[in-house]
Amino acid sequence: MTAPEPDLSAPDVPGLSVAAVARRLGVSPSTLRTWDRRYGIGPSGHTDGAHRRYSAGDLARLLHMQSLVRSGVRVSDAAEAAREWDPETSPVPTAADDQPEPFAGIDYPDRDALVRGLGSAAVALDARASASLIRRSLESRGVMWTWDEVLRPVLVQVGRNWERTGAGVDVEHLLSQVATAELSGVVTREAPRSTRPALLACAPHEDHCLAVYAVAAALAERGVETRILGPRTPAAALASAVRRLGPSSVFVWSYLPAPASALALEIPKIRPEPLVVLAGPGWPHPTPDCTVHVADLASAVTRLLRAA
């Protein structure tokens, strides 16, 4: 049983631990330590021989910073504003669980605000806020709009920042994991109407599979059942799945440059013959005659829908 959190209003209570504040905000303890180290917003209380503790004012400032980030303010600017913010003279924000959904009350979705908000939440390593923003966009505008107008722009910017500074791998990993989870939720929620599934996989050398889940979610919205084999799918495993499932189509994603061996897909000859779609910048041109190469999500979904 978890011990009750202390009453911060009591004068003899030293404050909250990192773990307790992390639970209040819905972030990880490592995220709190990053905010403290990078932006100077952290616990003010300290007892000799003990870990630093968060006061009521510290918690209020963090909640204020979090609300600014969720509204689209850059993390560094939100931290600076929170450091200068006086909780004694301003309303104390509620805990993260009690806050309204991001952009509540706005004519949603405002694309620019949504992109800023998601980018800021990802940089702050705020998985809960990132998931909420992605989910709201998926529910309001659908998978294809969310992918083209929100997720791809944010991921591209994260990649550019990494190329320029060498930092941000943690941001990309968190955002990819959160986006994958939300897209997977679309796949499991939608009831399929098709009788033959689309089989989706990454090439044998490919680890990045977010785009595969985006395709699966877009197809699920349109009633097409999918089977996802995930990253680094061996050619033999793909061939086995084709024989067992008899799919309407086979979609293989490659972001990284595909070696020549990856082109030996070994798709078994079954009837009816599945459409084979290669997607991503990693495939060479031209691709094998038995395949179709597409450049974007919309083209992939269009081709796979025709085959369903």
pLDDT digits (tens, 9 = 90+) for 190-203: 888 888 999 999 99
Confidence of residue 224 (pLDDT cuts 50, 70, 90): very high
Residue 48: per-residue pLDDT: 53
Confidence of residue 67 (pLDDT cuts 50, 70, 90): confident
Residue 242: per-residue pLDDT: 95
Confidence of residue 154 (pLDDT cuts 50, 70, 90): very high
89-93, 114-118, 297-301: least confident range? 89-93
1-10, 61-70, 142-151, 193-202: least confident range? 1-10
255 and 295 in one domain?
yes
Residue 236: per-residue pLDDT: 92
Residue 95 has pLDDT above 60, yes or no: no
Residue 131 has pLDDT above 70, yes or no: yes
Q: The domain spanning residue 290 has which CATH number?
A: 3.40.50.280
- Count of domains forming the chain: 3
Residue 217: per-residue pLDDT: 97
257 and 200 in one domain?
yes
Domain of residue 40 covers 1-99
Among 77, 99, 121, the domain boundary falls at 99
Residue 205: per-residue pLDDT: 92
Residue 185: per-residue pLDDT: 96
303 and 198 in one domain?
yes
172 and 207 in one domain?
no
| Statement: the pTM of the whole predicted model exceeds 0.85 | no
158 and 198 in one domain?
no
163 and 78 in one domain?
no
Listing DSSP states for the chain in one string gives -PPPPP-TTSTT---B-HHHHHHHHTS-HHHHHHHHHHHS-S--B--TTS--BB-HHHHHHHHHHHHHHHTT--HHHHHHHHHH--TTTSPPPPPGGGSPPTTTTSSS--HHHHHHHHHHHHHTT-HHHHHHHHHHHHHHH-HHHHIIIIIHHHHHHHHHHHHHHS--HHHHHHHHHHHHHHHHHHHHHSPP--SSPEEEEE-TT----HHHHHHHHHHHHTT--EEE--SS--HHHHHHHHHHH--SEEEEE--SPPPGGGG-------SSPPEEEEESTTS-SSPPTT-EEESSHHHHHHHHHHH-
Residue 72: per-residue pLDDT: 65
88 and 16 in one domain?
yes
Among 163, 189, 215, the domain boundary falls at 189
Confidence of residue 101 (pLDDT cuts 50, 70, 90): very low
Over residues 301-305, the mean pLDDT reads 95
Over residues 269-287, the mean pLDDT reads 87
Q: The domain spanning residue 109 has which CATH number?
A: 1.10.1240.10
Residue 228: per-residue pLDDT: 98
Among 66, 99, 132, the domain boundary falls at 99
Residue 234: per-residue pLDDT: 93
Give the percent of the chain with pLDDT over 90: 42
Confidence of residue 105 (pLDDT cuts 50, 70, 90): very low
80 and 110 in one domain?
no
Q: The domain spanning residue 64 has which CATH number?
A: 1.10.1660.10
